[in-house]
Structure 1
Amino acid sequence: MGRHLKSLLLLSVVLATSTASAEAPAQRIATLAPHLAELVCAAGGCARLVAVSEYSNYPASVTKLPQLGGAWNINLEAVLAQRPDLVIAWTDGTPPDQVARLQKLGLRVVWLQANTLDSIGAALEMVGGWLGTKEAAAKAANDYRQRLAGLRAQHRDEPAIRAVYQIETSPAYTISAASPISEVMSLCGGINVFAALPTISAAIGQEAMLAAAPEVVLYGREESAAAIRAYWARLGSAPVAQAGNLFPIDPDLLGRAGPRMLDGVVAVCAAFDQARSRLAEVRRRPTEPGAAAAH
């Protein structure tokens, strides 16, 4: 049987499956970004996942599922092969033209947006509606909202600290207020010194980084810690360098809009607490001989 004929037969199966009522709970779900798989599982639908995007790794069970390619490069044949009756696309990431192609093939595709801490609860409830797991999803959303409210109350009066989330070193990139990571830093009392960037992320020159005078730097654990340390050693007059306030954070906890983002909040707040203590220690150190005379 030729490859073209096989594709046509496969498409006919998909089209037959997709004629079911859109109101019927989805039974075979494909997700097009790692955090979407996490949301489906949290909403009580892990057993219905039949395919996930590249880099999906939580919970561990999803690593055994077929992968559909990257969030920006979907393998359409791989999607069709799994015969999903619901494909969940990422509003802020999945290319609209690829969604359109999936829809032309008869697949039911829905968009899901979760790009703030508050939106995650609503996203869980939305998924529960599609899956018919409203009770489990509502519980997950309620638990999430209660924990988020508790963390906000706990850290409401934290002393402000000037913060940067750093990506790479040659050049260094960082994020603006448009990133959910910036919202997490703010909850913990952090002031994103590059919040006003015109794009969600941008390269930052060393002079601009030094002028911003950050007191704490967060970076993903996938980055080279040695390279990050070397970068700040070259900017030794910056407060963050003087205090050694360089903290690796699990990027999955900050970059994936699901319930685990609150674990990211806990990690960031703990790093900021430690950074404040180190800064206070630096400020208590005796002034170097001759420093006062220099002023």
Structure 2
Amino acid sequence: MSHILLIVDGMTDPDFRLADYPAMDSMQQLAPVDYSEGGRPETLACTLRILGLRQVPPHIRPIVEAYGAGLEVAPDDLWLRGSWYHIDEQGQPDRQESPETFTLRTDATVEIEPHDLGQGHWLFRLREERYLCERLTLPTPFVTGKMGDLLPEGDETIRDYFSQLATPRHRLIVWDKGVSRPLPQLQEPSVIIAAEKVLLGLGKMLDWETVIHPALTGDTDTDLGLLAQLTLEAAERTDRVIVHVNGADQAGHQRDEAGKRAFLRRIDSELLPLLLRSPHRLTLTSDHGCDPATGCHLAGPQPVLCSGMTHLRGNEGYRKQFSSL
């Protein structure tokens, strides 16, 4: 018997109610857990805490996503992570949205390599510029209210490059930086099923099996029936399967409340019943919330739902993960 850990990215928001989703509501509820632990509610850090890592290294998301994208990661390179945002009438980002057309600089004097992660997200590599990592100050787009300057501070060449990645209504905002560093090993090997580069990179760095399929996407169009099939197949060959579903978070960033609700109903009616009918143990949680009213991530306690608690009570590893056990 395997343990299926289902992470629904960005599931909660101020209007989220378990009672609206019968399959979720039928599961046993443990005490909610705030995986942001007072920090920025960000997918990688929160996911690592879900998996039991207590000390999350700072600024590792660009490195993990570089691995997930199959890019070479050299020890002295600096990586920057950015996303496209729509800019409102006050000059502030109000939702993640990529423009239909934009031009990347090809000036040979600017040695910045862009890499498209899809869905409006990009990585930028600066070769042998590791020393710049501590110097740069970056904005934080996943907050509400005024942000001030949307450009990196600390290096004029980098600031100038990203000042030109803009259209009249869109701007690419760099919100994380990183240099190569080892990721602490987690004790329990797993299979990861995901579409997001950050989860695939995590699997690669931990030397875990990863399962991908073209029909599994990081948006609301992902094939949940296929996801259930692949999950149950993986559960037959391993002790733990980590399943990451991103569509609710994506809809939240796009400020599409109806789309987020519809996607969560699909999870509840298309994915969960198949997993709940299997002989495998199931835990469902979310890394953080995402508010479709603002397009921003939310910190705060996330539901922890189980298909049964008996398998968890004697498992010391999960006692450490979930504060209610």
Query: TM-score if structure 2 supplies the norm length?
Result: 0.31
Higher percent of residues as helix: 1
Higher percent of residues as strand: 2
Query: TM-score if structure 1 supplies the norm length?
Result: 0.33
* Bigger CA radius of gyration: 1
